[in-house]
Amino acid sequence: MKDLLKLMQKRQSVRLPFDTKHPITKDDLLQILEAGRWAPTAHNMQNFELIVIDDEELLESIEDIKRPVSETFVRENYLQLSFSEEELLKKKSGVLAAMFPPSWRNPDFRLDISDEKADLSMQRPIQGCPVMLVIVYDPARRAPASEGDFLGILSLGCVMENMWLMANSLGISFHIVSSLSSGAVGKEVKNILHIPGNLDIAFSCRLGYPISAPAEYLRVRRDIKDFASHNKFGSKDLE
């Protein structure tokens, strides 16, 4: 059990390029899918399908999709930023501003839609990888009486985490790329992969082995007492 906790604590997002010439073995891939297969889902609906992409041309066409950033994204992202490690350690949630382009570190960010170049300079490339997974679901098939299919969507998160932990346990890095899920970008991904129109993309992820060792980066979490109450909300005597 200690090993399980260690695996969870060590699981991390790896945003580096992965070695496109270092494939993921079929056995490893099947273990990752097996982990997704056994994820809990509301009413055991197993409300997902997934596409494994290992064809170089397909991967390239997905990497090449223009993913202009939206003003809403940058403004809401700003709310999660810390501008120093000290600040992040104090906040215990969110991410370091240094992870993002300088123009995103401005609370008054405005997207100049008349300037296509400026728009694209905000786009962060999708780094290469030998395998991507695209997980799709049918938003019309909600979990019983679940408003907005909240329970169905939670279930997709369980699939994500199961696969992520399995991948990491096999020494395979994992990186979620949310910007491929919706809007014009999502449509293009759906076209490239022949995904039926009634399905939505829940999430996509890159799998692989980083070209260089991932740099240590500061990962913070709130303390247990910050989020856990004992018997009544706000009663903080658990630690």
Chain residues binding ligand FMN by CB under 6 A are 12-13, 15, 95, 175-179, 219
Pick from 4, 1, 36: nearest CA to 174: 36
Shortest distance, position 165 Cβ to ligand FMN, whole Å: 11
Exposure of 19 by Cβ count < 10 A (0-12 exposed, 13-18 middle, 19+ buried)?
middle
Shortest distance, position 27 Cβ to ligand FMN, whole Å: 25
Taking CB atoms, the residue at the shortest distance from ligand FMN is 178
Of 101 and 230, the one with the shorter C-beta distance to ligand FMN is 101
The two tokens of residue 129 are 């990888």
Residue found under tokens 């008349």: 114
The two tokens of residue 216 are 């240590």
The two tokens of residue 132 are 């991507």
